[in-house]
Structure 1
């Protein structure tokens, strides 16, 4: 059943009549419902070793994209220009023809809005620059975020970065079979709240990843789902201070029998990039 549904269900999770008839032929004694979304979500919770390899491949492409993006930063370059260079280099150097979503680059105050795409805003010295990007690799998505400093960061910029990094690392270390999605969200959220930035962490800790960039489960307050081996999702705490800066650090990964293995490996110590004209 897993192989049939996995091959028939697309990104919109709908089954055509021809697919329905095929399923009826495979399972003549089964009953069917109009809404198969809960069934599909449950199946898609667990990734096979073959799927995990594809997710790891997508993660490696995201790591490459970060290198391109970091190198493209210079004074006066627009967010859109940096995003465009990332997409172009992915195509010509890695053969990546599709991103899993629009490549996001946000400099300075723009990064305080996590829903804002790249604009004609230009990078200026001593700003934080946030990257959020991903690729499609053999039908499977990556999604990862890093934030870097262009020029020497202020004490406040360093502080919010280190709080977010601590929260993300603590959540990665806590992610293992037996913890609930809500408890995992709380691990990161409590650290950010204790540091005085709780009101600036304005979204869930994470989301599932697979054939779609957003899948089940949702790592969020109120979700008592117990995490199990083979589940794949993001861990992405963020701190967004309007008019000042935004920081997000994100890795997708898989729950193993012992913990959580990420698909991306770009260093998460605060990278301070030299000023370039």
Structure 2
């Protein structure tokens, strides 16, 4: 089969980061923000290209300041200077960290006063799916040193930009979706009844890496007789037997961009209830695929899938939404749910994830990854099998 999503080039051109920064500065001006402070891995990477797993260490804070004009300024621990110097950022200010008595706060405060000499308003992401990554005591110290500089919510700046992807971003997500689709298609050749969940998941993870994934940071699911009741658990030593169902859900990475979708399998045979639930979730996903297009809201898309489930007698589930944005993180803005009401635009990348409860508290989930084009949804994943796959 010809791969519809061939290998994507790694990294981004300088012009990509220039475009992102210029767009952010335009939004900042509209919102009355004189600078933005970024403290989390995805926001720092989005504007600089700084890509390291050193973020897993909680010891050191990292800061990037986006001024009203010009390039971002990195205020980072000295250990990160060589890596940051490989990016398009040229103004890199460092301190020898960790230094608990003043872990970059004075340096950051001085930088903010330099780029905002007349005081003004500093934007800081404060909304849902954002956080401030520094010790609370350090944040209080930063606030006390800002003097005439006020802090306002800058969530809309990063949210509006990151929800709509560039073609370079879409290509990376598509490549990861293609790799994971191939691994899911090959999974019945690697696992069997008698494997433990841990063994089945390990085989899948190894195959993902061998097929080209850079990392598999998110791999969850479970098995159970005729179905499963937990969709976010780590694998256990439970032995999979005939009559079981297995769900695997992965957010694997290619060049810093993620897929996020699941597949369901039965072993030996499946109950009529499981087959019916699978069919209902598949049809709800199909309705979402047909409905997704620019100009409708996330709530309308959610309702389209929900109507199929309701018409099929769905008793609901406790997941809270039926999809979300996708990109550098396995879940991003927006949420496909009642009340979100985000207007869907071309070049958004979304997951469609209808789910339902059936039988004795069992669950069924379907998930596909799509990019929104002017004419509608374009699948990035290879569509799930029409009927519940049975591994014999």
Distance 1:266 1:180, change over 3 A: closer
Instruction: Find 1:33's aligned residue among 104, 111, 123.
Output: 123
Partner of 1:19: 64
Change (3 A) 1:10 1:174: same
Greater Rg by CA: 2
SS in 1 for 2:290: helix
Which residue of 41, 65, 72 corresponds with 2:190? 72
**Residue aligning to 2:371:** 254
Report deviation, 1:10. Answer: 4.9
Match of 2:111 in 1: none
**Are the aligned partners of 2:177 and 2:380 in contact in 1 as well (CA < 8 Å)?**
yes
In the other structure, the counterpart of 1:61 is: 179
Residues 85-135 of structure 1: CA distance to partner in whole angstroms, max 9, x if unpaired? 1112222x224331141x124212572222322222221212222121131
3-state SS of 1:128 partner: strand
Aligned partner of 2:199 among 81, 85, 92: 81
> 2:192 and 2:297 mapped to 1: Cα distance?
43
Give per-residue Cα distances to partners, 1:60-80, cap 9 Å, x unaligned.
111122134332331221111
The whole-number CA distance in structure 1 between the counterparts of 2:264 and 2:384 is 11
TM-score (norm 1): 0.87
Partner of 2:252: 135
Q: Gapped runs of 5+ residues in structure 1?
A: none
Counterpart check, 1:3 vs 2:33: no
d(CA) in 1 for partners of 2:172 and 2:200? 26
1:1-277 alignment, distance < 5 Å: 2-4=19-21, 10-11=40-41, 13=43, 19-20=64-65, 23=67, 26=70, 32-35=122-125, 36-91=154-209, 93-101=210-218, 103-108=219-224, 111-200=228-317, 202-241=319-358, 243=360, 245-275=362-392
Q: 1:17 to 1:58 in 2, by over 3 A?
A: closer
User: Which shifted more, 251-260 or 232-241?
Assistant: 232-241
- Following TM superposition, by how much is the alpha carbon of 1:57 offset from its aligned partner in structure 2, in angstroms? 0.4
User: Separation in 2 of the partners of 1:46 and 1:214?
Assistant: 14
Question: CA distance change for structure 1 residues 145 and 17 in 2, over 3 Å: closer, same or farther?
Answer: closer
RMSD (CA atoms): 2.6
CA contact (8 A) 2:371 2:377 kept: yes
Closer, same or farther: CA 243–122 of 1 in aligned 2, 3 Å: farther
C-alpha separation between the residues in 2 aligned to 1:67 and 1:239?
A: 24
Q: Is the 8 A contact 2:221 2:233 kept in 1?
A: no
Which runs of 5 or more structure 2 residues have no equivalent in the other structure? 1-17, 25-37, 48-60, 72-114, 126-153
TM-score, reference length from structure 2: 0.63
**Which fold has the larger relative contact order, with Cα–Cα distance below 8 Å and residues 6 or more apart in sequence?**
1
Structure 1, 41-50 or 68-77: larger mean CA deviation: 68-77
